[in-house]
């Protein structure tokens, strides 16, 4: 499980859903959608420190040749490790927020020619990010 700590900077609410904006570092800003409102979840307050968690299988990897896409959570870095398996591979991206681990198909690793030392980007759908208190 990937876990990053940050501070809530903004909360957008509609009905029972909230999009929570979190600053991990000065350059890395992530979002999560939660089925809560600030009125129903005391941890949802601007300025609060929280942890953002997401599974390795929810991290999409891309290279610098990324076209415009709808994924809003993007973390750039350098590939630190690639462990190829028969079907799945583990890719570790070293970023300003710490290491991000992605579990993707070995076929995808081969197609993108992912290698240690290469610039890459980890992307996570905002509905795949969980929030917890620190």
CATH number for 37: 2.40.50.140
Beta-sheet strand order (sheet of 2-14) = 29-34, 17-23, 2-14, 49-54, 130-133
> Is there a single domain that holds both residue 17 and residue 42?
yes
Within 8 A by CB and 6+ apart from 15, the residues are: none
> Is there a single domain that holds both residue 60 and residue 121?
yes
133 or 8: which leads in pLDDT: 8
> Is there a single domain that holds both residue 89 and residue 110?
yes
Separation between Cα atoms, residue 29 and residue 42, nearest integer Å: 22
Within 8 A by CB and 6+ apart from 117, the residues are: 78, 79
Separation between Cα atoms, residue 20 and residue 24, nearest integer Å: 12
> Is there a single domain that holds both residue 121 and residue 106?
yes
> Is there a single domain that holds both residue 47 and residue 67?
no
What is the domain extent for residue 74?
55-125
Q: In this structure, what CATH number is given to the domain that contains residue 71? A: 2.40.50.100
> Is there a single domain that holds both residue 72 and residue 119?
yes
> Is there a single domain that holds both residue 94 and residue 78?
yes
> Is there a single domain that holds both residue 30 and residue 69?
no
pLDDT in tens, 108-129: 999 999 999 999 999 999 999 9
pLDDT in tens, 54-90: 999 999 999 876 667 888 899 999 999 999 999 999 9
Instruction: Count how many domains the chain has.
Output: 2
């Amino acid at each position: 499980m990937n876990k990053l700590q940050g501070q809530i900077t903004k909360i957008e609410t509609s009905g029972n859903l909230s999009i929570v904006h979190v600053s991990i570092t000065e350059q890395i800003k992530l979002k999560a959608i939660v089925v809560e409102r600030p009125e129903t979840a005391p941890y949802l307050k601007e300025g609060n420190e929280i942890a953002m968690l997401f599974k390795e299988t929810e991290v999409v990897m891309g290279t610098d040749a990324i076209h415009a896409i709808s994924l809003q959570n993007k973390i750039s870095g350098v590939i630190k490790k690639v462990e190829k398996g028969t079907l799945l591979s583990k890719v570790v991206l070293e970023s300003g927020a710490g290491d991000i681990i992605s579990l993707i198909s070995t076929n995808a690793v081969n197609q993108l020619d992912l290698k240690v030392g290469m610039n890459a980007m980890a992307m996570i759908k905002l509905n795949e990010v969980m929030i917890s208190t620190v």
